[in-house]
Chain A
Amino acid sequence: MNARPNDTPILRAEHFTKYLSGRKILDDCSISIYPGDVKVLIGPSGAGKSTFLQCINCLLEPDEGEIWLGDRKVDVRNTRELCELRQHVGMIFQDFNLFDHLSAEDNVALAPRKVRGMNKQEALKRAHAELRRVGLEDKARLYPAELSGGQKQRVAIARALAMDPTVLLLDEPTSALDPELVGEVLTVIRDLASHGMPMIMVTHQMEFAQAVATEILFMEQGRVIEQGSPDELLAPGSQTRTQDFCVRLHDLCGGEAAAQE
């Protein structure tokens, strides 16, 4: 699984540093994505995971660092290059961020129409294909306010896929969902991973991460402090910070579940 092809990665983010209101949130973080990679970022809250993710497609502009798309360096100050980078990098948000005034199909069709200049009919056809892929073709005409959280997140995934991204960034895609809705979203993500869609994902779903990740990056205080395959980092008794964190996370969730019963 770790055997690297010799060619260049699809996307490289190198030496990212980011300050927010005077505080150093990211400190020299790097990540590179090869075809088929599923990289999972974990760590305590405030570790800079979401900031790192948002710097990769420049929703937050990193103060230092370089972004490489294949073997080409992206000039993020150049609007055209920036928009092109973002077309290659799909993003899924914790709170979905569907366009509230558009139906599911129009949510998916908007960017293909505006950014790629597809005509309305073509774009809607594409939208229906993507909605079918996430199992929501029958909800195409509903508005976000009429969908459940899990359905909203699946529409958001369809929306990102309609731009044919080469990498998907997922920022805690299931954290805002009711527990019984988490499964349907994870199923879609697992399906994408098994079809070889490269992803970088921030999540607290450790079992899921362990199952799909090719590599886990553990972040704390703005730095990637551990990095390796799930088997290495999460092996019982491996004495890694990652393993320690996961045990504590598990205890916490286990305790909560017990309290509810």
Chain B
Amino acid sequence: MLDFLDPTFIFDRAIPYLNQGLLMSLGLIVPASLIGGFIGVVMGVLRVFGSPWIRRSVDSIVAVIRGVPLTVQLMILYFGLPSVPGLKIYLSPYAAALIGFIVCTASYQSEYVRGTLLSIRQGQIKAAQALGMTRWQTIRSVIVPQAIRRALPGCGNEIIYLVKYSSLAYIVTCIELTGEAKILVSRTFRPTEVYLIAACYYLVMVSAATWLLARLEKALAIPGFGVQK
């Protein structure tokens, strides 16, 4: 029987191997959270201030995305799209995973943003209009900057979820941290060590994200908003 928690195995084999997976995970999480966050804000604004027609269509997109498990969405993107007649979209594993994550995280972010957009007092909007600002100037310069500050804790929560559901990417053969861990386990039959290390990696990523978000909140803090200095 092999030694349990053998340091040679952990440091010489498991960690270098899993580091490759970590890089791929970060390659998914960082762009997905940035692009998804931006699209989420845009979708949130459209869902509150868009014309009725736009509002309804974005609402339906969100309803579908939130109503279907992410695993199924990823499978449709990767395995389903190539067999749509006349369309035949072939996505690389990385592209399929990234697109799936962006769409998913943007939908959830839009819900946080929508909530805080609705919480901005009517008086703020009236004041901007009374100064002669147009609707979009008001939204861009007055409403969104306030709403984002209020949405930050919720949006941070979604980013932390994203770190963890990035582990679904291996399902569409985009081999990230969890995928590498699975492969290593099947080769070495040492699930305890390998998965424990993977777990630690996720914990570190989530902690780093939490710390970064706290710094961002502090950087954007304004008296009367967010973190009290």
A113 to B118, alpha carbons, bound, how many Å? 26
B143 to chain A, nearest CB (A): 10
| A101 / chain B contacts, CB cutoff of 8 Å | 142, 145-146, 149, 222, 225
B134 contacts across to A, CB distance below 8 A: 79, 83
A20 at the B interface (CB under 8 A): no
Complexed CA–CA distance, A86 and B127 (Å): 11
Residues on A with C-beta less than 8 A from B132 are 83-84, 86-87, 111, 115, 163
Size class of the contact patch on chain B: 20 to 34
A114 and B137 contact, CB distance less than 8 A: yes
A93 near B127: Cβ-Cβ < 8 Å:
yes
| CA distance in complex: A114, B127 (Å) | 14
Q: Which of A85-124 contact B (CB under 8 A)?
A: 86-87, 89-91, 93, 95, 97-101, 110-111, 114-115
User: In the bound complex, do residue A115 and residue B131 qualify as a contact, i.e. CB atoms below 8 Å apart?
Assistant: yes
Of residues 59 through 80 on chain A, the ones whose CB sits less than 8 Å from some CB of chain B are 59, 79
Bound-state Cα–Cα, A81 to B184, Å: 69
Can you list 20 contacts pairing A with B, beta carbon distance less than 8 Å?
Answer: A59-B129, A59-B130, A79-B134, A83-B133, A86-B132, A87-B131, A89-B130, A90-B130, A95-B123, A97-B124, A99-B128, A99-B142, A100-B224, A100-B225, A101-B149, A111-B131, A143-B222, A143-B224, A145-B223, A146-B223
Q: CB-CB < 8 A to A163: which residues of B?
A: 131-132
With contact pairs A86-B130, A163-B131 given, residues A143 and B124 touching in the complex (Cβ less than 8 Å): no
CA distance A110 to B146 in the complex (A): 15
**Which residues of chain A are near B225, meaning CB under 8 Å?**
100-101, 145
Determine the chain A residues whose CB is within 8 A of the CB of B137 once the complex forms.
114-115
Nearest CB of B to A155, in Å: 11
A128 contacts chain B at the CB level, 8 A cutoff: no
Min Cβ gap A97→B in Å is 4
| CA gap between A145 and B137 in the complex, in Å | 23
Query: Does residue B141 face the partner (Cβ distance < 8 Å to A)?
Result: yes
| Cβ-defined contact, A93 with B123, below 8 A | yes
Determine how close the nearest CB of chain B comes to the CB of A83; give it in whole angstroms: 5
Q: Are the CB atoms of A97 and B133 closer together than 8 Å? A: no
Please name the 6 residue pairs, one residue from A and one from B, whose CB atoms are nearest each other, closest first. Answer: A145-B224, A97-B127, A87-B132, A111-B131, A97-B123, A91-B130
Instruction: Check if B126 is an interface residue, CB within 8 A of chain A.
Output: yes
Dominant SS among interface residues on chain B: helix
Would you give the shortest CB distance from A251 to chain B, in whole angstroms?
Answer: 32
Give B144-162 as 1s and 0s: 1 = Cβ < 8 Å from A's Cβ atoms: 0110010000000000000
A144 interface residue (CB < 8 Å to B): yes
Closest to A156 in B: B127
Q: Which residue of A lies closest to B135 (CB)?
A: A79
Complex CA distance for A115 and B124, rounded to whole angstroms: 16
Residues of A within 8 Å of B123, CB to CB, are 93, 95, 97
Complex Cα–Cα for A54 and B137 (A): 20
A57 at the binding interface (Cβ < 8 Å): yes
Instruction: State whether A160 and B124 are in contact (beta carbons under 8 Å apart), knowing that A101-B149, A143-B222 are contacts in the complex.
Output: no
- Mask, B82-114, CB within 8 Å of A = 1, is 000000000000000000000000000000000
Bound together, the chains give a CA A163 to CA B132 distance in angstroms of 9
Residues of A within 8 A of B124 (CB): 97, 99-100
Question: For chain B residues 149-190, which have a beta carbon within 8 Å of chain A?
Answer: 149
Partner of A97, one of B126, B149, B223: B126
C-alpha spacing A83/B131, complex, angstroms: 8
Bound-state Cα–Cα, A139 to B127, Å? 21
Query: A115 vs B146: C-alpha distance in the bound complex, in angstroms?
Result: 20
- Chain A residues in 8 Å Cβ range of B131: 86-87, 90, 110-111, 115, 159-160, 163
